């Protein structure tokens, strides 16, 4: 298959790559929430598989989950800043902010993965955690609801 010569020599600007990456991470985050909900509804014991993995796999999976969330969040903050301060949208400044976005996201996601986000979500959205929270809400006991929510986030 022939390809036009300009495609082979074209180098994507870093701002285009960060824009594409922001869209991909947004789709990943949506898919992760959707997939997590389906797994929870279908009662698939994914936690058992996860806890049987080695610690290296835990680190890898936590980093793979945390990077898209961190990157997409930082990318969103950058766009909010651009909306608030349009003077920041200049070629040199957007190139620098793209490199800061990539580096900051990488460093932050490495730090976040030590917080074990997958373990946190398993605890938060486990059947027992959701069931006890719902029981408290139906009782309309405000203090009990607050206590249950505090226990979930410990």
- CA angle at 85 for the pair 79 and 88, rounded to the nearest 5°: 80
In CATH, what number is assigned to the domain containing residue 47? 1.20.1300.10
Number of domains in the chain: 2
Q: Please, are residues 29 and 67 in contact by the beta-carbon 8 Å criterion?
A: no
Residue 6 included in any domain: no
Residue 131 included in any domain: yes
Mean pLDDT computed over 82-105: 90
Rounded to the nearest 10 degrees, the angle between the axes of helix 14-42 and helix 91-113 is 30
**In this predicted model, what pLDDT tens digit does every residue of 22-55 receive, in sequence order?**
999 999 999 988 887 787 778 777 778 888 888 8
Contacts with 106 (C-beta within 8 Å, 6 or more apart), sequence order: 67
**In this predicted model, what pLDDT tens digit does every residue of 119-154 receive, in sequence order?**
777 766 665 555 555 555 555 556 666 776 677 666
Share of the chain above pLDDT 90, in %: 29
The domain containing residue 131 runs over which residues?
Answer: 123-154
- Cα 61 to the center of its chain, rounded Å: 12
109/128 same-domain check: no
Residue 7 included in any domain: no
């Amino acid at each position: 298959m022939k390809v036009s010569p300009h495609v082979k020599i074209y180098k994507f600007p870093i701002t285009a790559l960060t824009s594409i990456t922001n869209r991909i991470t947004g789709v990943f985050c949506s898919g992760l929430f959707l997939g997590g909900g389906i797994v929870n509804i279908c009662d698939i014991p994914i936690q058992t598989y996860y806890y049987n993995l080695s610690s290296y796999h835990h680190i890898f999976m936590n980093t793979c989950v945390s990077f898209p969330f961190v990157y997409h969040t930082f990318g969103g903050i950058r766009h909010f800043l651009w909306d608030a301060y349009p003077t920041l949208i200049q070629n040199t400044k957007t190139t620098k902010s793209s490199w800061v976005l990539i580096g900051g996201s990488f460093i932050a996601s490495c730090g976040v993965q030590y917080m074990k986000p997958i373990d946190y979500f398993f605890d938060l959205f486990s059947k027992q955690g959701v069931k006890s929270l719902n029981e408290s809400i139906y009782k309309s006991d405000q203090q009990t609801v607050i206590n249950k929510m505090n226990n979930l986030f410990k």
